[in-house]
A = this chain, B = another copy of it.
């Protein structure tokens, strides 16, 4: 998606350890108009798939998922990274390793909000190793629901998670796919 690639080129910064900072428009400050355009593109890509739920993980996935839910006209559910007083005891649960934060989280979702009849689009800001995506997919499957596919803002294709999951048959649409990244800049997949 040209608009997103341009923003990554103009505002993204490559940091040591394979981290791409896009804090200025995607995950600290966010540009809701850009996210709305991205949501429209996901809607176009998944037209006719009967998506009736958007699923993401807190925290930075929530912004793009909220705009996606608005555009798709369906509820958004976000999995939570730990059990808090505000969540019921009836939970689906999975362990997810975080590449960004270097730790492992128990990720949970209330059984009330995922069902066998759900046709779920998983939405997230980044796809790297795929750990979060595998975890979210497992939660939908625990509920007996169907994962229609994933809609990702930025895939770090060189980290392999996306292609591994595609080889396993999962549909993944990434709005920007980065082929390589170094101190000198980055290149998109063509």
Contacts A59-B78, A62-B59, A85-B17: A32 and B69 contacting too (C-beta < 8 A)? yes
Contacts of A77 in B (CB 8 A): 28-30
Is the beta-carbon distance between A113 and B32 smaller than 8 angstroms?
A: no
- How many angstroms between the C-alpha atoms of A30 and B55 in the bound complex? 10
Total count of chain A residues near the partner, CB < 8 A = 44
A30 contacts which of B17, B23, B27, B76 (Cβ < 8 Å)?
B76
Contacts of A66 in B (CB 8 A): 30, 32, 35, 62-63, 66-67
Does any Cβ of B come within 8 Å of A158's Cβ?
no
Contacts A77-B28, A77-B29: A84 and B69 contacting too (C-beta < 8 A)? no
Is the beta-carbon distance between B28 and A70 smaller than 8 angstroms?
A: no
Is the beta-carbon distance between B75 and A28 smaller than 8 angstroms?
A: no
Is the beta-carbon distance between A113 and B33 smaller than 8 angstroms?
A: no
Copies in the complex: 2
A19 contacts which of B29, B58, B85, B113 (Cβ < 8 Å)?
B85
Within 8 A of B (CB), among A149-189: none
Contacts A23-B112, A24-B113, A110-B23: A30 and B85 contacting too (C-beta < 8 A)? no
Is the beta-carbon distance between A101 and B76 smaller than 8 angstroms?
A: no
- How many angstroms between the C-alpha atoms of A136 and B15 in the bound complex? 28
- How many angstroms between the C-alpha atoms of A77 and B110 in the bound complex? 28
A59 contacts which of B15, B25, B58, B101 (Cβ < 8 Å)?
B58
- Identify the 5 closest CB pairs spanning chains A and B, nearest first: A32-B69, A58-B59, A32-B70, A59-B59, A62-B62
Question: Residues on A close to B: CB < 8 A?
Answer: 15, 17, 19, 21, 23-25, 27-33, 35-36, 58-60, 62-63, 65-67, 69-70, 73, 75-78, 80, 84-88, 100-102, 109-110, 112-113
